[in-house]
Structure 1
Amino acid sequence: MKEIRYFYVPNASSAGELPEEEAKHATRVLRLQCGDQMILVDGEGGLFNSEVSVVSNKHCLYNIVETLPCRREWNGRIALGIAPTKMMDRIEWMA
């Protein structure tokens, strides 16, 4: 069984092609071929199961197979506590 591959693609539902950096990674590093499955995330809550349709050096085209339901896993808040130090640079770095 192959591992699940996730890619960030702005406007994934209408783009049809991975961004250049993602395409290079998919084709050169992961060596994806036509028919391989991947999951696309659009950064706006969209999650898409897709299939690679065309692969070349700097381009990777895909077809969306299905739109996956995406729900928020965590609805909490984060509270961060820090101890003050004598060096103000560290506080500014933390902020």
Structure 2
Amino acid sequence: MHLFYTPDIQPTHPQYFLSEEESKHAIRVLRLNVGDEVQLIDGGGGLYAAEIKDAHPKRTILQINSVKLEFNKRNHYLHIAIAPTKNIERLEWFLEKATEIGVDEISLIICQRSERKEAKTDRLNKIITAAIKQSIKAYHPILNEPKPLTKLLTREFDGQKFIAHCEIGDKIKLKEAIIPGGKYLILIGPEGDFTPKEIEDALSNSFKAITLGESRLRTETAALEACFEANFLNR
């Protein structure tokens, strides 16, 4: 069944009008017609079953038949903070796969060794949207605009905070640190890793140093590994 992302829909709506872009896609591309059933997700946990009542290529009208709230809500909250990669396609790959696996919030952090200082979040959000539609997830991850790491370190967070790095020092395995059913903020540094000063600042702000294994991972691979572990440990 075809699925559409409709962030402005409300559970009380008896009908919904698809946007011109989505209407064109539904009618011209997918060739849907009156009576065809579709699904809608609002990005906040709502999954809607709907039926096409007017197959107009600019303003398709849907009848809402049923609503499921908190659809497939997970028992934990995962926030990954990652330094944008020099090759933006690697960051896009991470966003797609992390969304499919399960992530609630992503922050783009600018570090001292960052090779990329900016990223177009409009395009990145479209990749996330496509991924939630592909994996049928009713929750749309939050993507925060790029900000200096220092601002995130002092941000209040009601949960466990971790920093993954490759420097020598005391580190614990993520699987040994996570408390199931909790909230997690995990920092993943740039290609050149965090500087010793950045690691020190994180530790002084109640972050715990973690290792993601013996291999030296690329930024996007390390972030996805952290995402996978957090989800696996909460199954």
Do they fold alike, i.e. is TM over 0.5?
A: yes
Partner of 2:32: 32
Which residue identity does 2:76 align to in structure 1? Answer: N
CA deviation map 1:34-70 (0-9, x unaligned) = 1111111112221101111101231210001111241
Structure 2 CA distance for aligned equivalents of residues 80 and 89 of structure 1:
10
- Does 2:91 match 1:90? no
CA deviation map 1:11-47 (0-9, x unaligned) = 3233611111111100110011011111111122211
How many residue pairs match? The answer is 88
Listed as ranges, the gaps of 5+ residues in structure 1 are 83-87
**Highest RCO, 1 vs 2 (Cα 8 Å, sep ≥ 6):** 1
Mapped contact 2:36–2:52 kept (Cα < 8 A): yes
> Whose radius of gyration is greater, 1 or 2?
2
- Does 2:8 match 1:11? yes
Q: CA deviation at 1:76?
A: 4.9
Which residue identity does 2:36 align to in structure 1? Answer: D
Mapped contact 2:83–2:114 kept (Cα < 8 A): no
- Relative distance call for 1:39 and 1:79 in structure 2 (3 A) is same
- Relative distance call for 1:16 and 1:76 in structure 2 (3 A) is closer
Listed as ranges, the gaps of 5+ residues in structure 2 are 85-112, 120-145, 147-235
Structure 1 CA distance for aligned equivalents of residues 83 and 73 of structure 2:
25
- Relative distance call for 1:64 and 1:27 in structure 2 (3 A) is same
- Does 2:76 match 1:75? yes
Which residue identity does 2:117 align to in structure 1? Answer: E
- Does 2:43 match 1:43? yes
Q: CA deviation at 1:75?
A: 2.3
Q: CA deviation at 1:80?
A: 4.8
Structure 1 CA distance for aligned equivalents of residues 2 and 30 of structure 2:
9
Q: Which moved more, 1:59-68 or 1:14-23?
A: 14-23
TM-score, length-scaled by structure 1? 0.72
Structure 2 CA distance for aligned equivalents of residues 10 and 27 of structure 1:
20
- Relative distance call for 1:81 and 1:22 in structure 2 (3 A) is closer
TM-score, length-scaled by structure 2? 0.32
- Relative distance call for 1:81 and 1:44 in structure 2 (3 A) is closer
3-state SS of the aligned residue for 2:58? coil
Structure 2 CA distance for aligned equivalents of residues 90 and 26 of structure 1:
40
Mapped contact 2:20–2:57 kept (Cα < 8 A): no
Q: Percent sequence identity over matched residues?
A: 32
3-state SS of the aligned residue for 1:52? strand
